Amino acid sequence: MKTLNGKKSGYSYTRSWMQMHCFGLIPSSVAKMSSGQSKIFLGNIFHCQNDPAKKQLYRISNEQGGFVIVKRSKIMAIGRKEDLEQARAQHLADEQDVMVTVLSDRQLLIPGFVDTHIHAPQYPNCGLGYDKPLLEWLQAYTYKLERKYRDLEYSRKVFNAVVRRTLNHGTTTACYFASLFQDASLILVDAVLKYGQRAFIGKINMTTLAPDDYVETPEETIKLTRKFIESVRSKDCELVEPIVTPRFALSLEMDSMIELGQLVKEYNVNVQTHISENTDEVKQVNSKYGLPYANVYDKAGLLTPKTVLAHGIYLTDEELSLLSQRGSSVSHCPDSNTCLKSGMCDVRRLFSFGIKVGLGTDVSGGASPSIVSAMRSALATSINLSFGQKNYKPLNYLDVFYLATLGGAEGKITPMPLLFLILIFHFTFMLICSRSLLSVI
Ligand SMILES: [Zn+2]
């Protein structure tokens, strides 16, 4: 099989692919295809899988001449060409109308990217206001923008644009911080459903440390979160799920966080928040609660296997052990950590504690909604960390591909049964097939 640079080695193929994407050559168009029809894709498939022997974090699967079977928008099977007929008989025996797409040797089918941390309302500020560190940046730029989402027409315009843009960058699954306002947050839900992205969407909880006209009362934040969860669930669509979203430990009092922890249990929903992003923030959290940052969330019942915590730069060994015990995962947001001068997160250290890690763009702390940009930043951060540590092995291009795909998916789905893990991972594949095939390959 020919590769992008004309060589025949599988690994030179993958390296060429990464170089192509790292230089930003993903086409921006999205090729829409009917999602109801059964489809078979034949071609080269590149993806990460769990290592059944658990000896390594992931196993790269590079099927040169493989197939993907899609039935009613779900991936039913992935395999090698010689196994196609058996898989077709098993999954498509009752299907009369099957569309077969044969990819060329210059095309590659990969899983959709998973953005495990993105603030949809901050999209208009991408690339702006990086002259201040986190806590000042929130007050000077971010809350001012986020207050605009009382205007539902503005919300609709921005949220449609965010979903289109992230899909064009190959993000088929996103974990969104939506708005403080419930109505605006539901508009993001509608946008995601309209364009067919898989998403976890959270109405933000914030009762303090923000302008007076941009906080809720403790009663409102719980009542509206309950309402939001029920509204999203009433859509009865597996593409979108509500996620409880306390902004960060300084945005709420402990009583409210405990009530949110009770909602998490009652509705069995995921949780997303920030942790240990900036040294001043960590000091203030320690002083407010008299506890290490991770223990604050743990006390509130917010550290679960369905929790994703953005950043985690300054977590102590004891906190990392706690996260590992709870099965909570970390969203590594290297672009944001650089733009806001927050610091450098050591992903290798997180791995050494057995913590699952995915990648986040953290728009607009991060300047780009592209996960490929986050992959590039993750490589740069890891290489920079290696300069100060003897024998440190920085992340390589395969590691960041794992973080952008399976790593992010695992972080979101750890608490669910294995079958669901496969379904969701396949789901991301499915979305590439049905929505943005040409944008990714
Ligand atoms: Zn964030």
Q: Between β-strands 307-311 and 270-275, what pairing exists: parallel, antiparallel or unpaired?
A: parallel
User: Do 119 and 24 fall into the same domain?
Assistant: no
Among the candidates 79, 110, 141, a domain finishes at: 110
pLDDT of residue 225 exceeding 50: yes
Kindly state whether residue 437 falls inside one of the protein's structural domains: no
Tens digit of each residue's pLDDT (9 = 90 or more) over 110-136: 888 899 999 999 999 999 999 999 999
**For residue 21, what are the β-bridge partners?**
none
Domain span holding position 85: 10-110
Q: How far is the CA of 186 from the centre of ligand 1 (A)?
A: 19
Tens digit of each residue's pLDDT (9 = 90 or more) over 167-185: 888 888 899 999 999 999 9
* pLDDT, position 418: 23
**Segment among 65-74, 336-345, 374-383, 399-408 with least mean pLDDT:** 65-74
* More confidently predicted of 114 and 204: 204
Report the alpha-carbon distance of residue 154 to residue 327 in Å, rounded. 38
Q: How far is the CA of 244 from the centre of ligand 1 (A)?
A: 14
Report the alpha-carbon distance of residue 338 to residue 126 in Å, rounded. 14
User: Do 302 and 171 fall into the same domain?
Assistant: yes
User: Do 106 and 117 fall into the same domain?
Assistant: no
Residue with tokens 């995601």: 192
Q: How far is the CA of 117 from the centre of ligand 1 (A)?
A: 6
Entry field: residues in the chain: 441
Report the alpha-carbon distance of residue 3 to residue 339 in Å, rounded. 36
Kindly state whether residue 355 falls inside one of the protein's structural domains: yes
Q: How far is the CA of 73 from the centre of ligand 1 (A)?
A: 31
Residue 187's identity, in one-letter code, is: I
Among the candidates 110, 136, 157, a domain finishes at: 110
Q: How far is the CA of 335 from the centre of ligand 1 (A)?
A: 11
Helix, strand, coil percentages for the chain (3-state, nearest 5):
45, 20, 35
| CATH number for position 185 | 3.20.20.140
* pLDDT, position 266: 98
Give the residue-averaged pLDDT of 198-221: 96
User: Do 85 and 164 fall into the same domain?
Assistant: no
User: Do 250 and 303 fall into the same domain?
Assistant: yes
The domain total for the chain is 2
Give the residue-averaged pLDDT of 209-232: 97
User: Do 247 and 370 fall into the same domain?
Assistant: yes
Q: How far is the CA of 272 from the centre of ligand 1 (A)?
A: 10
Confidence of residue 424 (pLDDT cuts 50, 70, 90): very low
Kindly state whether residue 55 falls inside one of the protein's structural domains: yes
Kindly state whether residue 256 falls inside one of the protein's structural domains: yes
Report the alpha-carbon distance of residue 294 to residue 325 in Å, rounded. 12
Average pLDDT, the chain: 84
User: Do 280 and 402 fall into the same domain?
Assistant: yes
Closest CA to 423 of 90, 33, 71: 71
Report the alpha-carbon angle 183-188-194, nearest 5: 125
3-class SS of residue 290: coil
User: Do 150 and 264 fall into the same domain?
Assistant: yes
Give the residue-averaged pLDDT of 320-343: 97
User: Do 167 and 197 fall into the same domain?
Assistant: yes
Give whole-number Cα distances, 177 to 117, 276, 392, in Å. Answer: 7, 18, 34
Confidence of residue 73 (pLDDT cuts 50, 70, 90): low
User: Do 129 and 104 fall into the same domain?
Assistant: no
Share of the chain above pLDDT 70, in %: 85
* More confidently predicted of 168 and 374: 374
3-class SS of residue 357: strand
Kindly state whether residue 39 falls inside one of the protein's structural domains: yes
User: Do 101 and 250 fall into the same domain?
Assistant: no
Among the candidates 88, 110, 132, a domain finishes at: 110
Q: How far is the CA of 410 from the centre of ligand 1 (A)?
A: 20
Q: How far is the CA of 148 from the centre of ligand 1 (A)?
A: 18
User: Do 60 and 190 fall into the same domain?
Assistant: no
Q: How far is the CA of 177 from the centre of ligand 1 (A)?
A: 8
* More confidently predicted of 397 and 49: 397
CB 372 within 8 A of CB 379: no
Kindly state whether residue 2 falls inside one of the protein's structural domains: no
Give whole-number Cα distances, 278 to 274, 342, 369, 413, in Å. Answer: 10, 5, 21, 27
Q: How far is the CA of 141 from the centre of ligand 1 (A)?
A: 14
DSSP of 154-173: HHHHHHHHHHHHHHHTTEEE
Kindly state whether residue 382 falls inside one of the protein's structural domains: yes
Confidence of residue 32 (pLDDT cuts 50, 70, 90): very low
Q: How far is the CA of 337 from the centre of ligand 1 (A)?
A: 10
Q: pTM, whole model, 2 decimals? A: 0.86
Confidence of residue 35 (pLDDT cuts 50, 70, 90): low
Kindly state whether residue 402 falls inside one of the protein's structural domains: yes
* pLDDT, position 437: 34
